[in-house]
Amino acid sequence: MNTPADLNIDAVRAALSGRVIGGRLLYHDVLSSTMDKARLLAGEGWPEGLVVVAEEQTAGRGRFDRPWVSPRGHNLSFSVLLRPTSTQLPFVNMAATLAVSKTVAGLIGRPTTIKWPNDVKIDGRKVSGILIETDVGKGKLRYAILGIGINVNLDPAEHPEIASIATSLSSEMNRHVDRGEVLQSVLERLDDMYGAIKRGRSLTDEWSAQLETLGRTVAVRWGHRVFEGRAREVDERGHLVVAMPDGSTVTVAGGEVTIQV
C-alpha cells in the first residue's frame, strides 16, 4: 500500500527492525479505531510490540469515549499492544507520555509538560493525548493497549471546538513536519523505556518532574464524585494525591482533573 510521503512506513519499519515495539508495524488507510484493531489482534495472540497505524479513524476516541479530532493526513493515530505484568502496568502510561513529551520537546526546542495523567502540552495547549485500555482474564492481566494521538500538521484554528486548547507541531515550528520521523522517534523512545520497565526500573520520579498538575489547585471528577483540592504529589504507581481543605488527603487512581485558576 502506498503511503504519504511524510509517513514512510517502510522506512519506519526498517529503523525499528529488531526492536520489541515497532518490530511489527501495520498500516491501514482507514480503520474505525486503531484501539479496536489492536484489541482484535491481541485476542488472536499477536505478540507485544505490535503497532497499528491508521491514516484515518472513523470512530477514534480519547479518554471517556470523547471523539478525537484528527483530519485525514495531518496527524498521527496509532496503538501499541503490550503484555506487561500487573506490577509493570502503572509505568506503561508514564513511558508513553514521556516518549511523546521528549520527542516533542526535542523537535520544538522547548520544554513540554504533562497534565496528569496522560496529556502532553506545549505552553498549556494540548499536542497529544494518550489512552490505555487493559484486558484482565481470570484475575490476570492479559494485555494493555496504548492509544496515542499526536497533532502533527493540524491547524487548530480550522477546528473551533479545539482552537483555544490545542496546538500542533507544525503550528509551533511554523513548517510542515515529517510524520514518519515523529512516529519513529516516539516508538524508539517508548521501546527503550518499556525495556527499562521490564528490567525493573521505576519511571515515577522522571514522570512526576514533568507534571504541570502538581502544586496546583484542581477540581477532580472521579466517578460521580467531584471535589477540589491541591495536587500535592503522585505515589509510586502514578496515582494523584490531593490535599483537601480540611487537611486530609485523597488518592486518585483515575478520573478527570481540571486545573483551577
Give the span between the Cα atoms of 85 and 66, in whole angstroms.
Answer: 28
Beta strands in 95-160 (DSSP E): 113-115, 119-122, 125-137, 140-150
CB atoms within 10 A of CB 115: 21
Looking at the chain, how many residues does it have? 261
For residue 72, the model assigns a pLDDT of 78
Give the span between the Cα atoms of 96 and 129, in whole angstroms.
Answer: 10
Q: Name beta bridge partners: 197.
A: none
Q: pLDDT for 187-213, tens place per residue?
A: 999 999 999 999 999 999 999 999 999
Q: Closest Cα to residue 152, out of 80, 224, 62, 74?
A: 74
Torsion of CA 106, 153, 259, 145, to 10 degrees: -80
Q: pLDDT for 102-134, tens place per residue?
A: 999 999 999 999 999 999 999 999 999 999 999
For residue 1, the model assigns a pLDDT of 47
Indicate the DSSP class of residue 224: T
For residue 254, the model assigns a pLDDT of 76
Residues 6+ apart with CB under 8 A from 71: 154
| Residue 159: C-alpha distances to residues 88, 154, 155, 172, 175 (Å) | 38, 9, 8, 17, 19
pLDDT at 260 over 60: yes
For residue 137, name the pLDDT band (cuts at 50, 70, 90).
confident
**Grid coordinates belonging to 62:** 480519547
**What domains does the chain contain, in order, with CATH numbers?**
9-208 (3.30.930.10), 217-259 (2.30.30.100)
For residue 64, the model assigns a pLDDT of 47
Which of the residue ranges 139-148, 187-196, 224-233 has the most confident prediction, judged by mean pLDDT?
187-196
For residue 62, name the pLDDT band (cuts at 50, 70, 90).
low
